[in-house]
Structures are given as C-alpha cells and as structure tokens.
Structure 1
Amino acid sequence: MASPIPVLEVGGTHVTGALVDPDGWRVTQTTRYGLDADATADAILERIWRAGNALRAPAGTTWGVAMPDPFDYRTGVALFEGVGKFAALRGVDVGDALERRLRGTFRFLNDADAFLLGEWAAGAAVGVARCAGITLGTGVGSAWLVDGLVVDPGSPPGGRIHRMDVAGRPLEDVVSRRAIRRAYCEVGGNPDFDVREIAEAARQGDARARRVLDAAMTALGRVVGRCVNAFRADVLVVGGSMSASWDLLGPAFRVGALGSALPRVVLAAEPEAAPLVGAALLASRSPA
C-alpha cells in the first residue's frame, strides 16, 4: 500500500496542506491557513511551514507544491514582481526554505497545471488524451495536457493565456476580478461589489452587470477559443471561483468562441481537490 503524498497549494489569500492517497487519488487530510500576500518573506514562509508541518510527513518525503506565476518551478525560486502579491518573496529560494524547515524534497508546479492534472487523474477529464483547462478567479490561468503530461502548446506563449492580448490590451485588463469590478464601477455599479455580487445582480436583471460580464466573457472566448482549437483539445475544463457562475458566463464565452470549433466544455468535478491531487501526481513521478 502506497504512502500518502504530502502537498501544499499556495494561493493569494490562503495556503492549504494536504495528504493525498495515490490509490485512487483521494485527499485524506487537509489543513488551511489564511495568507497575507503583502506580508514579509519570513511571515509568508512561516504560514506555509505551518500548513505543511501539520501533516507530520516523515523526513525525506517528496512533496508536491502548487504555486502561482511568476515562479521558477525548476529551481523553486520566487519571481513575483508587479503582480500585486508576494512581492517580498522575489528572489527567495522557497524550495530551500521548505527543505530546511520540513526536511523533505519539494517539487513545484504551476497552480493551473496542478488543477488540470488533478482533473485528469480523478475528475472531469479522466483518461482524456488532449485536454485544456482554464481557471477564472483573481486572474486567468491555463493548462495543457497530452496523455497526462503538461506541455507548452506554443500559443499562448509558455501555455499561459494571461500573456495574450485582446483588442490591443492585456487579457487580464479585460477579464479578471479587478477588471470586472472596475468595469462595473465605471458604468455606475456598486464599487463594493465583487464578481459574485455582480453576477447575482445580473441574475436579478441588472442590465449594467450583464453587459459587463458578457463583454468580459466574450473577449475571453475569443482568445481561448483560438488557442484551444489550435491545440486540438478533446475537452476544455473550467475551474476557479468564477466557474460557480458558469451558467451565466458560459453563453457569452461561447459567443466569443464562435468559429473556433470548441471541444466539449465541462466544469471541474473536483475544484477544491484537483490542485492538491495534481501536485501529488507530480510528486509521485520520477523527475524528468
């Protein structure tokens, strides 16, 4: 019987530690701590350590760690700059810090890659040969798999959809939490509303909210549709906090993607567990 695999998932507001059973890829234990992305490097590392230490993993264990961009996933060095989070970690060897504190070996991967790997192993894309994934939350994440291996499709650059432009503007200036909130405020909407409240306002008949969301999702569909079509994906998996409103957002996304021959589009089956499972899957594999 294989031993549980310890993993960490680091987000902009939280860090989650978990044990994942490789027999069926089930999450068997989790611990979650709030994270201040504007804190000092020591404070951020201390919170990550706490989440990992609670798992009581044996010394020498190989861990999987899902981290957001920008990050050097091969060396474990943080490259955060100008992204509104973790600025204090720039240049810090996170891998070395965790190895010293938790006495293990750490393998890092992008959080969107972890999400799609998890859905491929035990979610909405089980066994699919070619699958793409997008995560819609603070920003837009993307991932691309061929037979369960992360690949660079060429377009978008490095596989990262947020690097694409739409109508001459960076995609995340049009489609992101901050972009949607700003656009709603500019048309006279409540400046305190987050995306969830804007979506609810649209459901209740707020035409301004509906126009803002439709414009953002149409732009996203235009960009994602081209990339997914070029990749020849068999399925597109959608996750992230905004996916909870996909019944509202999906139609405009499909309008934007018209002409791109979208594959089957499915919502994540395990949106919370998928990044943890994906990190565990990476940790279980022999290094490339």
Structure 2
Amino acid sequence: MNNHYYLAFDVGGFFIRGGVLTHQGELITDTVSYYSSNSTANREQLIANFVHIISRQMLTIMDKSFVIEGIGFAFPGPFDYDHGICLINGVNKFDSLYGVDLRTELTQRLKQHKVFVKRADPHFQIQFKNNVNMFALGEWYLREEKEYAKIMYVTIGNGTGSAFLENGEIVTDRQDVPQNGWVYHLPFHESYVDDYISTRGILRIARQLRIDPNLELEQIVAAARAGQEDMIKVFQLFGKLVGEMLVMVTTFFNPDAIVLGGQISKSYDLFMNEVQVALKNKHVSVELSDETSYSTLIGLSKVLF
C-alpha cells in the first residue's frame, strides 16, 4: 500500500490546483501544480481538459511503482456530489457540464487512457466534494489554535461559496444555516447573493459608475490601489454589499469568526472598512486565508480516506 496514491484537485473558475496524497492522506507539497480550468469551454473540451490534467498530475509522482487508488475533486456547487453530477448553470463557469454525470464520463475516458490504466488500481474511484467545505476543513486543520467554536467560511470569486463549521464539523442541515450551508442562491437586492458578491458583481458596480466596461477586474484592482478615486468607490460599494450579506446570513448562526478566501478576498484591503462597519455590532472576527487552494487540498486529504 505504500505505493498507492490519490490525486486531489481544487476546481476553480479560472484555475485548477492539483496535488498528490500518500496512502496515509498526506499532501506531497512538491506535487502541487496549477492548470487552466477552461471553465467557459464546451462539454467535450472540459472533459478532455480534466483527463489531460489528471495525466499531467500523475507525472509529478516520483515513486516509479506508483498506483493511483483514486481521484478526489473539490468542486463548486451546485453539484450532486454523491452521484457526481454537475448542476452548475448560468454563472459563466462549467455551464456546459450542466446535468453531466462527470464521474461516469471521466471514468470511461480514463479507462481508454493506456498510461492511466497501467497505473490505476482496478477498483479506483472518483469522488466529488464541495470545494468550500473542503476549504473550511483544511483551514480548521491548519490552524494550530482552535480559538473559535463557530466559524463561517466565505470564498469570493466567480461566485459566492460558503460553509458553516462548529467545533470542526461542517453544519449543512440545521435551522440556523441556509440549506446545504450555501448562501449563493439566497435572495439579495434584485436578484441573488451570487450576482452581487462576485467578479460580475464588482463589474456591475463599475458599469453603474460609468467606468470603462472593457476594463478587467485586475485593472480595476490595480487602479484602486494606485489611488484612483472612482476605482476606490467601486470597492467601497462592493464592501457595503459584502457586509450587508454577511449580516444577513449570520443572524442566526452567530459565528465567532468569518474566514474569507477566494481570488477577490485577496483585495480585502480595498473593501474591509465597509465590511467592518457593517459587522460592528456582531462581535465577530474577520480573518483572511493565506492560501485558499492549499487549504482545500488539505481538506480533501482528510475526507478521501
């Protein structure tokens, strides 16, 4: 069994981060790799990309006698994780996989891949887990001091990911949290949380302020950090929305801390003042994850065995 390994992947809208887990569930840090997710591609291209990424990740294993025991994906929702069926739709990432039995599709393709078949255990399995739940578990495991009993985790990128954790356990089916622990689909202003607390939410604010619609998010961030007032205003308005959303979804759960991850959270310095104002009466600490994907891979390593 010492030569048996798991491949683990954190799937995002822009990038997929991969790593290799030992048979004991330890992440081999030297194997951590980045790949493009191609999340707006068509169905066939996306499935082919996953197969390509799996084959590339196998090459990072130095053990010449290695056997692939299984593959674990931390995938964004909505997703039928038990049956491996993607239910993402209308968010400009993985839309073409809607309704696809990804476990069956990938298994069939990999069984036609000679190198993979040679290295895979005959009973290898592909598992899917919620990416933010894995992020939460990884963060909990990595923090040496368990100073908070109740924590809400939020990832902000192409959409709004969320997880609620109490004493190291994920809470998904309780009256004080949204169904599945997911906030992305909750009614918010004229639409849903996901439409406002996301990349497209920031770009919408920019359009409302009559900022050049051709600017990318990275350009808006750079201009705001350079002191450009209209760009600063974009993040101030965004911060108010983030704060409003956090107040709304923590009303009943009352976490001791909120941990932010995801690509947009790396720009938290641009909107943290507004978030802190909104949460001033909540007595909750707001903290940032050092590395969302790494924590997610660690979370996967704790549940795949």
TM-score range, shorter chain: 0.7 to 0.9
CA contact (8 A) 2:261 2:289 kept: yes
Match of 2:240 in 1: 218
1:211 Cα shift? 2.4
Q: What TM-score does the superposition give when structure 1 sets the normalisation length? A: 0.86
Match of 2:161 in 1: 141
1:171-190 alignment, distance < 5 Å: 171-190=193-212
> Which stretches in structure 2 are left out of the alignment for 5+ residues?
111-115
1:197-208 alignment, distance < 5 Å: 197-208=219-230
Letter in 2 for 1:279: L
Moved more, 115-124 or 86-95: 115-124
Letter in 1 for 2:231: A
Match of 2:213 in 1: 191
1:229 Cα shift? 4.8
- Aligned partners of 2:178, 2:10: CA distance in 1, in Å? 24
CA RMSD of aligned residues (A): 2.7
Letter in 1 for 2:8: V
Match of 1:110 in 2: 130
Runs of 4+ in 1 over 4 A off after TM superposition: 1-4, 21-26, 57-60, 123-128
Task: Find the partner of 1:32 among 22, 31, 34.
Answer: 34
- Aligned partners of 2:151, 2:145: CA distance in 1, in Å? 7
> Which stretches in structure 1 are left out of the alignment for 5+ residues?
none
State the secondary structure of the residue aligned to 1:135. strand
Match of 1:14 in 2: 15
- Aligned partners of 2:144, 2:162: CA distance in 1, in Å? 16
- Aligned partners of 1:143, 1:92: CA distance in 2, in Å? 25
- Aligned partners of 2:57, 2:202: CA distance in 1, in Å? 38
- Aligned partners of 1:243, 1:216: CA distance in 2, in Å? 12
Task: Find the partner of 2:86 among 78, 84, 90.
Answer: 78
1:122-133 alignment, distance < 5 Å: 122-123=142-143, 128-133=148-153
- Aligned partners of 1:26, 1:264: CA distance in 2, in Å? 32
- Aligned partners of 1:197, 1:158: CA distance in 2, in Å? 35
Match of 1:266 in 2: 287
State the secondary structure of the residue aligned to 1:162. coil
Moved more, 28-37 or 232-241: 28-37
Moved more, 121-130 or 177-186: 121-130
Larger radius of gyration: 2
CA contact (8 A) 1:195 1:242 kept: no
Percent of pairs identical after alignment? Answer: 25
- Aligned partners of 1:125, 1:191: CA distance in 2, in Å? 45
- Aligned partners of 1:87, 1:226: CA distance in 2, in Å? 28
1:91 Cα shift? 2.0
Q: Describe the shift of the 1:125–1:246 C-alpha distance in structure 2 as closer, same or farther (beyond 3 A).
A: farther
Q: Describe the shift of the 1:146–1:168 C-alpha distance in structure 2 as closer, same or farther (beyond 3 A).
A: same
Letter in 1 for 2:18: G
Q: What TM-score does the superposition give when structure 2 sets the normalisation length? A: 0.81
